[in-house]
Amino acid sequence: MAVQILNHLDLDRHKLEQIMRMLKFSFAFLVTFAVVMFYYIWITDKYSTGDVFSQPSLGKVVSNEIETRQFSSTIKFTSQNLQVQFVTENNGSDTLKDRSEVASRDPVRPLINLDLQDVDVEELSRRLVVVTAFSENHRLEVMGMIGTVQNHMPATRVIAYDLGIDPRYLSKLRRLCNLEVRPFEFHRYPSHVSVLMKFAWKPIIIKEALNEFGVIFWADASVRFQDSLITLLPFAKEHHGYFSKIHSYTPLSAGSLSAPALHNFFLTHRKMFAYFGIKRKRYAKSPNTPHVAANRQLVINSTTVQEKVIKPLYACAMDENCIGPPGAVRGNHMFDASALLLIFYKYWPREFNRDNDHVADMDRVTRMHRESDDWSQAKLCEV
């Protein structure tokens, strides 16, 4: 009928073909638009109800007296030889009002599946960063540490968190080669975190940096490097992604609580033992209670390390009754180091022993130097 009308109007054949093409194109466009709109409405409705794009949770739900969280929404990708998983955290209910805000800052976690595959040491080394934090009274001391990183690992970045550096020196610090200075945002955390001598900030920083980089070496300001950390990465792999210096394994040199040895048992407040539900006398008599050094820790962000160490340590740091219970002072408590001591006893009791702790290797690569006389070793880079 349309053709008859057009013929009746005495249009030539060329114009008729043009009009027909336009009509076909318009019809195809309208059909496509209708299909797209229908699909959009359908998918939006399904997404809002959770019927599509939902994926099963990763691993298992980890529950303990400290905190409960569930890992879900897993997205996997492969980068060279390294398999990384980004895992979104869905936090359960919390009593700390700041907890949800803090968690929202690091919604993805780059998990490295050491338990599922053999990750290349060179790849781990490329991801490795040295992490530290300091206030003004440790500024020169930490410059000595940074100088040894520059000397033995010139390609390795140092991420330093500002806990109260004099602003007059920040510009010079930021000119140090391979150094990034970041502010630590105390306002995002419970008030006790701002008390530096409670050391709650340290587990928080370790968690934050580990979530970002996947492989970190935590170094106190007094740590000095004597060789590259790449030589220690195989030992971290051997222990599912964690390696530190073990000072000793038993708190008692005799059968009495009054016979101290080089062990943090004697510098851990009784209320922290109670918080973790650990009997102090039973702990003292245990044959394997590793005193793990908190001042130098090589950590790979594996699922095992998250569940056994990072989660309980972070939760303890967020609760003042755990990290710094009433009556705890530097003379009777070591705060984050004490928490690490009890966490290994409770959650990972048989991982380290005298046959597999590789203490000599840690001492070969690192040492402690609690002075600031070597600050001038740190090299400046023009920016």
Per-residue pLDDT of 4-22, as tens digits, reads 544 554 545 666 666 777 7
25 vs 333, more confident: 333
The two tokens of residue 123 are 């790849």
6 vs 158, more confident: 158
d(CA 159, CA 174): 11
Q: Give pLDDT, residue 125.
A: 96
Question: Is residue 158 helix, strand or coil?
Answer: strand
User: Which of 64-68, 369-373, 378-382 bottoms out in mean pLDDT, i.e. has the lowest?
Assistant: 64-68
Asked if residue 57 has pLDDT above 70, the reply is no
Domain ranges of the chain: 2-49, 121-377
Q: Give pLDDT, residue 118.
A: 87
Query: Cα torsion for 341, 345, 348, 350, to the nearest 10°?
Result: 120
d(CA 121, CA 293): 23
% pLDDT > 70, the chain: 70
Q: Give pLDDT, residue 336.
A: 98
66 vs 138, more confident: 138
d(CA 287, CA 347): 16
Per-residue pLDDT of 280-313, as tens digits, reads 999 999 988 999 999 999 999 999 999 999 999 9
What does pLDDT average to over the chain?
79
Asked if residue 217 has pLDDT above 80, the reply is yes
Amino acid at 338: S
CATH topology of domain 121-377: Spore Coat Polysaccharide Biosynthesis Protein SpsA; Chain A (3.90.550)
Q: Give pLDDT, residue 29.
A: 66
323 vs 82, more confident: 323
What value does the mean pLDDT take over residues 72-84?
31
Report the helix count and the strand count for the chain, using DSSP H and E: 15, 12
The two tokens of residue 281 are 């006398």
Asked if residue 99 has pLDDT above 60, the reply is no
d(CA 169, CA 178): 17
Q: Return all residues near 258 (Cβ < 8 A) that are at least 6 apart.
A: none
What value does the mean pLDDT take over residues 325-331?
96
Q: Give pLDDT, residue 74.
A: 28
d(CA 212, CA 204): 13
Q: In which band, very low, low, confident or very high, does the pLDDT at 187 lie, cut at 50, 70 and 90? A: very high
Per-residue pLDDT of 222-255, as tens digits, reads 999 999 999 999 999 999 999 999 998 988 754 4
Most confident of 202-211, 255-264, 281-290: 202-211
The pair phi, psi for residue 293, each rounded to 5°, is -70, 130
Q: Give pLDDT, residue 21.
A: 72
262 vs 289, more confident: 289
DSSP 80-92: TTEEEEEEEEEE-
Q: Give pLDDT, residue 80.
A: 32
Burial (CB count <10 Å: 0-12, 13-18, 19+), residue 194:
middle
The two tokens of residue 218 are 């935590």
